[in-house]
A and B are shown apart, each in its own frame.
Chain A
Amino acid sequence: MSKKTFAIALMDPPYESENLTTAFRILDVMARRGHNINVFAYEGASGLAFAKQAPHPNPVHGKNLAEENHPTTKDQVAALLALAARNGGKVDWVNCGMCVDERGVGEFVADTRRGSPADFHAFCEASDNVLAIPTK
């Protein structure tokens, strides 16, 4: 399969929806196959790459910080970017600027950027296919 370019819209905030687990699984497959991935992180999803996310211990589970190894979406975003780079794909991860401002999540992990709906339009025009994953 030749390299493709996909546009993906995400809307759900971190830690609240199974949509993101499924979305990251799809993005992982795309990155493994070396495709270019353009992500528009809209509404709550603009917090996925927020750099100040921190894992925590879990006293209910009886696990300390290391044992709990709590997932953070910022680490998943960084892992996705690294995987794509290893396989020759490019990821353009755009965080909706107005959504970011509303939520105060303007500090992003490296190699993601602030953008606008115009970026999503450009992504759709430039992509071989598009998948919108809406919130419920």
Chain B
Amino acid sequence: MAEYLLIESRDPFESNDVGYYCDLARGLVEAGNRVTLFLIQNAVLAARPSAHAPQLRAVIGSGIKVLADDFALKERGIAKLLDGVQIAPIEIVVDHLEAGHKTLWH
């Protein structure tokens, strides 16, 4: 079993490719891996509780840990998050790199 950090910088409102990345995350879990999805930059726009983001909702509860960058949230004035999304600092990227987890940026 490997561990992966998938960093998502894109949002589902402007990029159809967010669905691809969420599918990739689920596929990695189904293949027996542990996956964390870290929303950064405009990707956090999908984390509001009432945002229309079915791609993200499909990931939550599927065994993938979903985090949202605290800085990006503050920058955009987002205080409330969808259940299942946790606020995290940028340090978690380095935590994963230190631990040798494969780390991808989308």
Genuine A/B complex: yes
One digit per residue, 1 when the CB lies within 8 angstroms of any chain A CB and 0 when it does not, for chain B 54-79 equals: 00000000000000010100000000
Q: Is the Cβ of A18 less than 8 Å from the Cβ of B91?
A: no
Interface residues in B30-52 by Cβ distance below 8 A to A read 40-42
Q: Is the Cβ of B94 less than 8 Å from the Cβ of A134?
A: no
Q: Is the Cβ of B41 less than 8 Å from the Cβ of A25?
A: no
Report the contact-size class of chain B (Cβ under 8 Å from the partner).
10 to 19
State the Cβ distance, A86 to closest chain B Cβ, in Å: 17
Give the size of the chain A interface in residues (CB under 8 angstroms). 20
Q: Is the Cβ of B94 less than 8 Å from the Cβ of A30?
A: yes
User: Which B residue's beta carbon lies closest to that of A6?
Assistant: B97
Q: Is the Cβ of A4 less than 8 Å from the Cβ of B40?
A: no
Q: Does B16 sit at the interface, judged by CB under 8 A? A: no
Stretch at the interface among B20-28, B80-88, B98-106: B98-106
Q: Does A131 sit at the interface, judged by CB under 8 A? A: yes
Partner of B105, one of A29, A129, A133: A133
State the Cβ distance, A22 to closest chain B Cβ, in Å: 6
Known contacts A22-B90, A131-B93, A131-B103, then 19 further A-B pairs from the complex at CB < 8 Å, ordered by chain A residue: A4-B97, A6-B97, A18-B41, A18-B42, A19-B9, A22-B9, A22-B41, A25-B71, A26-B90, A29-B91, A30-B97, A33-B94, A128-B97, A129-B97, A129-B98, A129-B103, A130-B103, A131-B97, A131-B105
Chain B residues in the interface with A (C-beta under 8 A): 9-10, 40-42, 69, 71, 90-91, 93-94, 97-98, 100-101, 103, 105
Chain A residues in the interface with B (C-beta under 8 A): 1, 4, 6, 18-19, 22, 25-26, 29-30, 33, 35, 128-134, 136
A-B contact pairs, 23 of them (CB 8 A): A4-B97, A18-B9, A19-B9, A22-B40, A22-B41, A22-B69, A22-B90, A26-B93, A29-B93, A29-B94, A33-B98, A35-B94, A128-B97, A129-B97, A129-B98, A129-B103, A130-B103, A131-B93, A131-B103, A131-B105, A133-B105, A134-B105, A136-B10
